[in-house]
Amino acid sequence: MTQTETATVAKAPEVAAISDVNPTQSDNIDHMYLTFALGGEEYGIGINVVTEIVGMQRIMSVPDVPHYVKGVINLRGKVIPLMDARLRFGMQEQTYDERTVVIVMDVSDSLVGLIVDGVREVLEVPPSQVDRHGQFGRGGSRSIISGIGKVGDRVSILLDTDVLVSDSEINIAAEVAQA
């Protein structure tokens, strides 16, 4: 790593380690979601796949990947492919700012970074408050949306991280990251 890269990485603030979130014993981790902003909507991913949240860092481009795979980062010696959630969902690209973060996830024993507009909080959503009856996605394929969580007046779109990162094109980026 060059001195410039080292300086860039050192300046990128760590937003929070997932271990900083201390659920009480009464909380069930299977019902907890890290919520984040994307456009004007709130999304959630299962806390059990989140390893940490880091600030934006220098992204190294990787050729021949889908437009929503922005490249890879070197996070403490681990090469992690980054997916821009806005682009993955067909939203307009937005310039990254001080609130933009990377949610590092461990999905199927592979680390993947998800670039989001900003994180909100860890929210407990009991199964009784998750609507899974709607038809989400295309045809007979599994949807990225696992359900709609409702807690009070809040509504969060809950994502299936396995489907989110299972796209065959993304596997190319994972292979590049492991090389």
Q: What is the pLDDT of residues 98-139, one digit of tens each?
A: 999 999 999 988 899 999 999 999 999 999 889 886 655 555
Mean predicted confidence (pLDDT) in 83-100: 93
Mean predicted confidence (pLDDT) in 155-179: 69
Burial classification of residue 151, based on how many CB atoms lie within 10 Å of its CB (0-12 exposed, 13-18 middle, 19 or more buried): middle
Statement: residue 154 has pLDDT above 60: yes
Q: What is the pLDDT of residues 11-68, one digit of tens each?
A: 334 444 444 444 444 458 889 999 999 988 999 999 999 999 999 999 999 998 898 9
CATH topology for 3-178 is OB fold (Dihydrolipoamide Acetyltransferase, E2P) (2.40.50)
Q: Where are the domains of the chain?
A: 3-178
14-28, 72-86, 159-173: segment of lowest average pLDDT: 14-28
